[in-house]
Structure 1
Amino acid sequence: MLSLLATSGRAMRAREIATAIGEDVSTPARVETTRGRLKKLAEEGHVIEGPVGWFAIAAGGTTADSGEGTAAAEG
């Protein structure tokens, strides 16, 4: 998710991110799982949420320094 956001150059919605990482978005629970992971990454400072429901990489955020967050968020 961090790599996707870092390279997208824009904020993305949780459903859009879930689709891009291969989640089955026809199951609402999978989108909510992705949203929960994104909110956790926001709490850790890796991503920002704003406006509500839109997620983007945090200023100065790179995938090189946040690999642990990616593993924790994906697994």
Structure 2
Amino acid sequence: MKQMIEVKVKDQFSNIHAVQALLRVIPEHSELHKLSLFQKIEHIVVNGEIIRPSIELLFESRTSDSIYRVIEE
């Protein structure tokens, strides 16, 4: 099961943006439930572009020069 939520991301210029993120919903009884927010995100949506995370948990746009990092609050 998946869930769309709103998250805040910071770009490489320290600008903060509110964007949509698609999360994997993990049952509470699963050990994977303890994963951080970053580890549960499948992708973010910025200005209609779907951006998947890199190994470093950054989201690099293919249509612009922007790189985003999710801010966990």
TM-score range, shorter chain: under 0.3
Structure scoring higher RCO (CA < 8 A, sep ≥ 6) equals: 1
Normalising to structure 1: TM-score of the pair? 0.26
Q: Which has the higher strand share?
A: 2
Computing the radius of gyration from Cα coordinates, the structure with the larger value is 2
- TM-score scaled by length of structure 2: 0.26
User: Larger helix proportion, structure 1 or 2?
Assistant: 1
